[in-house]
Amino acid sequence: MDMDREIFEGLLSAREFKAVRSILNVMNAVDIAVLLSELEDKELVLAFRLIPKDKAADVFANMDGNQQSDLVEMFTERELKVILDELFMDDTVDLLEDLPANLVTRILEAVDPEKRNKINVLLNYPDDSAGSIMTTEYVDLRKHTTVAQALMHIKRVGIHKETIYTCYILEHRRLVGIVTAKDLLTMDDDITMEEIMETEIKSVSTHTDQEEVVQLFRKYDLLALPVVDADNLMVGIVTVDDAIDVMVDEVTEDISKMAAVNPSEESYFDTSVFQHAKNRVPWLLFLMLSSTVTGILITNYEKAFEAVPLLVSFIPMLMGTGGNCGSQSSALIIRGIALDEIHFKDIFRAMFKEFRVSIVVGVILAIANGIRILIMYQDPLIAVVVGCSLIVTIIISKLIGCVLPLLAQKINIDPAIVSAPIISTLVDTCSILVFFNIATMILPQL
């Protein structure tokens, strides 16, 4: 049900608690979080207290950082404790990463010592590692457990576990097998875990990069992925919903980098004007100074364009086409790398492919452009100069666009960085050099 926010806020400020409560009763946690997203301070805490107990923690986990800190600040000790007891480990850690220091202390004081220790461990995993996105709640079973016992166990503990659809068979805390809820639901009661468990297990270590985690989910259609520590002991799981969130964040980061913007953690409107400027200026400065080189290069050919002024008019077209060709190639290669389809070892194969594509593309564009020049200026020599320059520029651009991301990947730089803007700037310089050199060779006036 999509509740109209204005009506809801009206009911709330009219203190129609009964109506508010029945609305909150039928809605799901995600939608409630959206519904409350414009409330502040007193109204927020008031509305939050009307949410049914079993949904409150879930709603809280779905709110944005500002609202969460508002609430933590206004909660009584008891309320805070209730919410923290219900929150999943990974959501608690996410919360702590966003909160100001004084509220973090407040929270760490409110949880019991055992949970506090776990939280501290999780907070210490490097950003973007499997450890930082995993949760420590999962169902663990023993080899000799029977299906009936497993089902009993899940009935007892399962309600508090983030996912119960994959159960982990441990032996001295070491992961030896996996049994799915599907197995438990469809197998006979007296079969033991050992008989049905899958022993060929996909797992990652706490320090595995989250991008690799996401690739495993994608490749093997997983619902959850176990995480082991340096001693190969099981410490947690990553669930598919968190993997999807990581996937979305990684793509946003790549798209930002490909447009020469330092990625922001916040959404577009939540990022301040100065933060936006700060994310964009460094690249623009760098690219601006690089393109100055191209500009100075052009002045070197001053005599050429004084002799044949028409030449200048082809510069934007050549530089533009070169830049576009380079971006096309780099975008496809960068995406291929992200999808694990293209690797550094394929570099020559990719270059050969781009080379052949460049020839086809170059010849077509050169012909189209040649016809235009012949019609407009009736000057076949200029048509040849521009056509040859186009073909050479396109070949160079596509090769640069293909090689740079692969080289970056090889030396552990994010390939998304060496994308359109950098490649365009590089290609600009090349296209000017190519153009004036070919012109000088072919045109008798120069």
- Under the criterion CB under 8 A, does residue 95 sit at the interface with its own copies? no
Least distance to its own copies, CB of residue 312, Å: 6
Is residue 43 involved in binding its own copies (CB under 8 A)?
A: no
Q: Does 123 sit near its own copies (CB under 8 A)?
A: no
Give the binding-site size for its own copies (rule: CB under 8 A).
112
Q: How many CB atoms lie within 10 A of CB 257?
A: 20
Cβ-contact 166, 177 below 8 angstroms: no
The residues near 355 (Cβ < 8 Å, ≥ 6 apart) are: 395, 398, 399
Q: Assess 38 for contact with its own copies (CB under 8 A).
A: no
Stretch that binds its own copies, among 102-110, 205-213, 225-233, 250-258 (CB under 8 A): 250-258
- Is 125:132 a contact under the CB 8 Å cutoff? yes
CB atoms within 10 A of CB 132: 21
Q: Restricting to residues 209-248, which ones interact with its own copies according to CB under 8 A? A: 217-221, 223, 240-241, 244-245, 247-248
Among 194, 256, 370, 440, binds its own copies (CB under 8 A): 256
Task: Give the closest residue to 325 by CA, choosing from 415, 420, 437.
Answer: 420
Pick from 105, 117, 124, 292 the residue near its own copies by CB under 8 A.
292
Q: Which of 22, 66, 117, 199 binds its own copies (CB under 8 A)?
A: 199
Angle at 135 between CA 97 and CA 226, to 5 degrees: 135
Q: How far is the CB of 204 from its own copies (least distance, A)?
A: 14
Binding-site member from 12, 20, 23, 27 for its own copies (CB under 8 A): 27
Structure tokens given for 363: 């010849």
By the rule CB under 8 A, 446 interacts with its own copies: no
In the window 412-431, what residues touch its own copies (CB under 8 A)? 420-421, 424-425, 428
- Whether the CB-CB separation of 88 and 61 falls below 8 Å is answered with yes
Residue placing its CB nearer to its own copies in the complex, 99 or 334: 334
What is the spatial distance between Cα 85 and Cα 433, in angstroms, rounded to a whole number? Answer: 67
What are the Cα distances from residue 6, in Å, to 9, 10, 255?
5, 6, 35
Distance CA 28, CA 39 (A): 18
| Out of 289, 307, 371, 441, the residue judged to bind its own copies by CB under 8 A | 289
C-beta of residue 135 within 8 angstroms of C-beta of residue 88: yes
Confirm or reject binding of residue 21 to its own copies (CB under 8 A). Answer: no
Q: Which is nearer to its own copies, 409 or 424 (CB)?
A: 424
Asked if residue 4 binds its own copies (CB under 8 A), the reply is: no
Closest CB to its own copies among 103 and 361?
361
Among 129, 146, 330, 409, binds its own copies (CB under 8 A): 330
Query: What is the SS3 assignment for 328?
Result: helix
In whole angstroms, how close is the CB of 99 to its own copies at the nearest point? 22
Sole window of 15-23, 24-32, 168-176, 407-415 interacting with its own copies (rule: CB under 8 A): 24-32
Q: In the window 369-408, what residues touch its own copies (CB under 8 A)?
A: 369, 372
Smallest separation, CB 355 to its own copies (Å): 9
The yes or no reply on residue 135 touching its own copies (CB under 8 A) is no
The enclosing H or E element of 373 equals helix 347-377
Told to check if 5 binds its own copies by CB under 8 A, we report no
Identify which of 160, 113, 112 has the alpha carbon closest to the alpha carbon of residue 136: 160
Residue 204, phi then psi, degrees to nearest 5: -130, 165
The DSSP output letter for 167 is E
Q: Is residue 197 a contact point for its own copies (CB under 8 A)?
A: no
